[in-house]
Structure 1
């Protein structure tokens, strides 16, 4: 399965929510050789629905044919909240529509930025407006992403939270990692003849800045003969990189790794000293957090949500232009040679900044808010906390399940689109009534829940074990 940030986000968030005592079910499309029901680590259950994938892991839009399968899963697993991910995921949009028809609470997480002028963005934004006009709460991975989503879907900013991505820092350790208790040594300096390696790991598409990379690499190597490039990734722009290498005879200075699995990313990163990220648009940029955790100095473009991700001492920013990319990279090389950057401290700092446990706690608060576990006032009081990231904020249970209220919200989505959306909602409701009559809930077996120790009980057991261990050590000393 090709690596995607949204996949990693869903898996890590699900695992931490399970640790906190929740039951989590993932519904996605089938992959090559993987259909039906699968169990992952920690008892995470995944339904692979056999729908046709047409482009970049996006399924063919079916609108209504997914409803019988989805309803069966929801009833079988006793689902209460449906959480969709990705503006371009047809399964996500369809699941939220069907969930609202069934009277379930819904949450949507947006991971991307989109424009407003090209045809693809216009269609995507209209589809997003349809889905989010009837969603209970929305989560974005950065403040820039929030602003983009609010404008695209005409949302009330108060019903959108900002909860960032995170990384498992233990999986992205530098080659020589010092613990937080070790005193930092003197800064490492690169001599004028020492080789500095620059790493690029990215999907090779236009929006990821591959054209900038192709233009900048020959200029950087021309002025810095003791620099080497390591590039990993695949995409339609890979041929441009290969042609650039051939044209400039850079086979000995630029190494192309091709596609790498996510579990191999760390092994590629630790071979370098600088991470170059020339993206043209980015909602968050998880890969630069992974690079900093590996002890790499980050050179990145000042676009989207990237400036929100890492502190200034870990990054060298550039405008998304060829000249600025070259200048920023050369500043980073000079800083490393002068010993001005303490990259050996980055890992522990990143570990303190980003945690999936924190992401799960904040997402859990959203669930509590929309389900009524938190009162309206409590939900808003939680939003008053300060910090680099906005705390969870939203309206608890404001969206009515009544069909007439849903139709009013859909009707306001546009002169023609509003009528089409209302028609979709009515057909979906009639299909739901038909399924309730001819495929009654009593005929659907309830799945057994994976056995899980209560998190509170677990903490008590851990405390008792520590007390027993302490008492045992004390008795041994007395003997």
Structure 2
């Protein structure tokens, strides 16, 4: 097996299709990962396209920076920014795109993304290589986790390679999706440290400003967040909270702010554009993350790059992300989080902190997109050596997952592909591409 740090001996140009329900203009960690990875792959000479579903004002083909071509398919959102898992309704258009763009590798992102799994399975039936990046952690006990894990097992049983963003995420994916460990690589996310630069002049020296930037959902620990605010604001007159982000749990923070009379020390900014995040971070002294589960937290890396002291719950892959000198790890309970914030405040008062610009240099060295891209290229080069399986062997792999009816779905997908091949032959698509019809 090729090592993740081994330099490439030969450089081959790949044609890659990034597939996910999560992409711009929607914002989030997965969207940013796909965009930045695509840009770096293009810089290194590869061709990259993106397949996602349409948004309210965006459907059809769009071109982004560096000529990144994005197909916004006419598919409506069904639930939480994801399309309906029909498995067969989008076969014709996906096949057309993959042939027209001469795609060699299909790279799906996010276990929640239905479109990523569908495009990957269609690509595999067409003889293409497939890669999947898992950005999240899942449990094993509740019914939703059981169903999600079984669906993920079905979708990944024929995947050529998987990528996880942390070693904890790798263990989680191997257990819940029953993927062979040797097929899973660990490649973390990265941050543009040249964008997230420190600016100590923006801080208020008379107060301790705690910044929180997060989606306000249950798994981000909004309940803990509210309890910490209710505990600390009455005891520290010089503390200020700046909270950026939106979500279904916003009402809880609004209730704490209004009922407790914390309007003077709690500022709710609502939803932020990614370009606005840095200008909020540089106003803070401490960054607080209260996540209950996290495979890899981009927010704490961005905050560290801006020179903030980070206080975070010790869950998932977070302990792997930053060195001890840059983060205070706490248990996911109010007492431990408050103690972590108080330790950070004490160090700030005593001047026992790293220089913000030194923090930026450390993050720049640890996490940069070109390094992540080179490591991803190694995965691409490795899977191109894999031999394609015939339909019978693929069906045998799906059969081992224990869901026999799914064999009928895969068989139907294969038959539809063969029918479409007769109706719309590949040579006609090649002609259309050559003449840009």
Say yes or no: TM over 0.5.
Answer: yes
- In structure 1, what is the Cα distance between the partners aligned to 2:418 and 2:251? 53
* Aligned mates of 2:254, 2:107 — CA distance in 1: 41
Unaligned runs of 5+ residues in structure 2 are 1-24
TM-superposed deviation, 1:176:
4.8
Q: What corresponds to 1:239 in structure 2? A: 251
Q: In structure 1, what is the equivalent of residue 291 of structure 2?
A: 279
Give 1:442 deviation, angstroms: 1.8
Secondary structure of 1:223's counterpart equals coil
Alignment of 1:393-472 (within 5 A): 397=386, 400-414=388-402, 417=403, 419-444=404-429, 445=431, 447=433
State the superposition RMSD in angstroms.
1.7
Match in the other structure for 1:210? 222
Counterparts of 1:371 and 1:250, CA distance in 2: 58
Deviations 1:149-188 (A, max 9, x none): 00011111111000000011111011159xxxxxxxxxx9
Q: CA shift at 1:138, angstroms?
A: 0.3
The answer for the alignment partner of 1:102 in structure 2 is 126
Question: Which residue, out of 263, 266, 271, partners 1:254?
Answer: 266
Question: Aligned pair in 2 of structure 1 residues 250, 343: CA closer, same or farther (>3 Å)?
Answer: farther
Shift of 1:449: 12
How far off is 1:55 after superposition? 2.3
Structure 1 contact 77–446 (Cα < 8 Å) conserved: no
Give per-residue Cα distances to partners, 1:435-474, cap 9 Å, x unaligned: 1111111221454699xxxxxxxxxxxxxxxxxxxxxxxx
Is contact 1:101-1:401 (8 Å) kept? no
Where has structure 1 moved over 3 Å in runs of 4 or more? 445-450
Residues 58-457 of structure 1 correspond to what in structure 2 (within 5 A)? 58-176=82-200, 194-344=206-356, 345-372=358-385, 397=386, 400-414=388-402, 417=403, 419-444=404-429, 445=431, 447=433
Contact 1:75 1:446 in 2 (8 A): no
Q: Which blocks of at least 5 consecutive residues in structure 1 are unaligned? A: 178-187, 373-396, 451-479
Shift of 1:50: 1.1
Taking the TM superposition and a 5 Å limit, the aligned residue runs for 1:9-20 are: 9-20=33-44
TM-score, normalized by length of structure 2? 0.91
Give yes or no for contact 1:2–1:261 (8 Å, CA) kept in 2. Answer: no
Supply the distance in 2 between the matched residues of 1:249 and 1:176 (Cα, whole angstroms): 29
**Displacement of 1:20:** 0.8
Supply the distance in 2 between the matched residues of 1:259 and 1:317 (Cα, whole angstroms).
Answer: 27
Tell me if structure 2 keeps the 8 A contact 1:275–1:299. yes
Partners in 2 of 1:326 and 1:116 — Cα distance? 30
Distance 1:241 1:448 in 2: 56
- In 2, Cα distance between equivalents of 1:226 and 1:284: 32
Within 1, Cα distance between the matches of 2:231 and 2:135? Answer: 33
Note closer, same or farther for the CA distance 1:274–1:176 as it changes in structure 2 (3 Å cut). closer
Deviations 1:81-129 (A, max 9, x none): 1000010111011011101110001000000001111111111111100
Determine the C-alpha separation between the residues in 2 that align with 1:366 and 1:112: 20
Distance in structure 2 (CA, Å) of the matches to 1:176 and 1:327:
25
Per-residue Cα deviation, 1:244-289 (whole angstroms, up to 9, x for no partner) = 0112110000011011011100011111110000000001001100
**Judging changes above 3 Å, is the alpha-carbon distance between structure 1 residues 449 and 170 closer, same or farther for their aligned structure 2 residues?**
farther
